[in-house]
Structure formats: C-alpha cells, structure tokens
Structure 1
Amino acid sequence: MNTSHTSDTDWGDLPGDDRSRAAEDEARVRSGFWQKLKGGAARVPFAGDAIAAYYAAFDRETPLRVRAALLGALAYFVLPIDTVPDFIPIVGFGDDAAVLFGALQLLANHIKPHHREAADEALRRAREG
C-alpha cells in the first residue's frame, strides 16, 4: 500500500486549473484513502472497485486525464464531510458510490486486470486486519 504524500506525477500536460485540482486530489487521496478503508469503508460493497480505481489512478500506464478523473472521484470518496456524511447508516456511502460508479462507468476500460487483482488482495488484507 502506497501511503506516500508526495506527488510522483507531472500534471504539467493538463491546463492550469485542472493541473492544480489534480495535484490537490492526488494529495488528498494519498493521505486519506487507506485510512478511510481501515475506518470501515472496506466493508462497503464497492470497496473493491474503489481500490482498483486507486491502483489505476497511480499507474503511470493509465492516461493522465483518466488518472486525474479517477483521483477526483477518489478524493470525493475520502472527504470526511460530503453531501451525505458517511456515518449515516446505509445511505452514508451512497453519494460516494454514485460518484465513483459514474467515474468507473466512463473509465472502466482503463482499470486493468492487474489493478483488480491488487485490489482483491488489498481488500482481503483490509478486512482481515
């Protein structure tokens, strides 16, 4: 699990606003993603998809704009306060799931089998630990 907080991505090919937003999203995801999973999110039905999206977002083989879009969806997932707070039973992760599902529908062909395999292993470890 990569929990580094520094960017290894050169967002320079994106326009100015997109560049800074992608860098902010990357920092937010790097600092909060695994913590969110350890905090109970590993038990939500879409956790495997979220982890696969994480691996795709940090894979240098994934196109830059796709990485930026996935990081945007994942950043929303890790926000402590969002449209429907996560501590509300059943519906709390609903808005997170909707945002992530939308991104995955558009970008699913960029999430490769090795991302899903790594996600399955990470999810197994998260649920055991």
Structure 2
Amino acid sequence: MELPDFMNYGNKFSQSDFVEKISRVAKRAGSKLVYAALILYYTLQSDKTSLKDKAMIVGALGYLISPIDVMPDAIPIVGLSDDLAVLIYVLKAVWSDIDPEIQKKAKAKLNEWFDDDEISEIDRLFD
C-alpha cells in the first residue's frame, strides 16, 4: 500500500478532534492503532520533541482524524489500516526520541479502554 502525503493533513489536527475521534473508534481500531496514536499525541505535547518531529506527528494525527482517507474508516476491518500505516511510519521515524514515560502514559490510558488480552497487541507494535 502506498502511503498518502500525510504532511498535507497537518491543518486537520486539533486536540479536541483527536480526543473525540480516538475515543469514538478505540475498540474498532484496536489497541495497536490507539497506542501508536496516543504515543504520538503525548510526544507532540513534550517540549523535548523537535519541531521537525512535531510537524510529522501533526501530519499523521491530522490524517487519522481527517474524514478524507485513502481507505474510508467506515469500511469494516480494512478501513483503519491506512491510518495505522501512517501512524506506524511516523512512530518508527521518531521512536528513538520517545521518552519511556510517554510509553507508560499511553499504556495507562489503554488500560482504561481495553482488556488485558487486547492490550497484548501492542507488544507487536511494529509487526
């Protein structure tokens, strides 16, 4: 699958739209997508994150919450696969700069929304 130019979606991102979308699609999207999105969201809020990384993160999160997708979110099973691909792509690009505390914070949020067996998916985040 070819990734879209997610940087064009930077103007789509807002904190309120992100929170609304992620809480609405959490169970359907799966813990892997939600975990990746939360890590990027919390990394965006960090003052330790470079401007270049923040720009990529805003583009990826903007793509996630945009109603215009390569694969519409309403399509069962595959509808969120393009969103996950974009999030994982950006997450890999910034992974070395992500604070372990951010990962813990994202996992704690997952524990509010998912069961333990669903959370085990995040152990294979880049698979």
Shared fold by TM > 0.5? yes
Q: Deviations over 1:76-125 (max 9, x none)?
A: 01112311111111101100011111111111112211111111112222
For 2:26 and 2:92, how far apart are their aligned partners in 1? Answer: 21
For 1:108, what is the secondary structure of its paired residue? helix
Deviations 1:1-35 (A, max 9, x none): xxxxxxxxxxxxxxxxx9xx75x35xx23121111
Give aligned pairs, total.
Answer: 106
What is the DSSP-based 3-state SS (H/G/I as helix, E as strand, rest coil) of the residue aligned with 1:97? helix
Contact 1:37 1:126 in 2 (8 A): no
Q: TM-score, normalised by structure 2?
A: 0.73
Contact 2:39 2:102 in 1 (8 A): yes
Identity %: 32
SS at match of 1:82: coil
Query: Take 1:78 and 1:41, find their aligned partners in 2: how far apart are those partners?
Result: 12
Match of 2:118 in 1: none
Aligned-residue offset at 1:53: 0.8
Give the structure 1 partner of residue 90 of structure 2.
103
Amino acid at match of 2:74: F
Give the structure 2 partner of residue 72 of structure 1. 59
Tell me the alpha carbon deviations over residues 14-68 of structure 1, each in whole angstroms, 9 at most, x when there is no partner.
Answer: xxxx9xx75x35xx23121111121123542321111011100111111111111
Structure 1: give runs of 5+ residues left out of the alignment: 1-17
* Residue matched to 1:55: 42
Please provide the CA RMSD for this pair. Answer: 2.1
CA contact (8 A) 2:26 2:113 kept: no
What amino acid is the match of 1:37? Answer: I
Q: Structure 1: how far apart are the matches of 2:45 and 2:25?
A: 23
- Residue identity opposite 1:38 in structure 2: S
Give the Cα–Cα distance (whole angstroms) in 2 for the partners of residues 127 and 112 of structure 1. Answer: 23
The match for 1:29 is 14
Q: Are residue 93 (structure 1) and residue 80 (structure 2) matched?
A: yes
Q: What secondary structure, in the 3-state scheme, does the structure 1 residue paired with 2:68 have?
A: coil
Greater helix proportion: 2
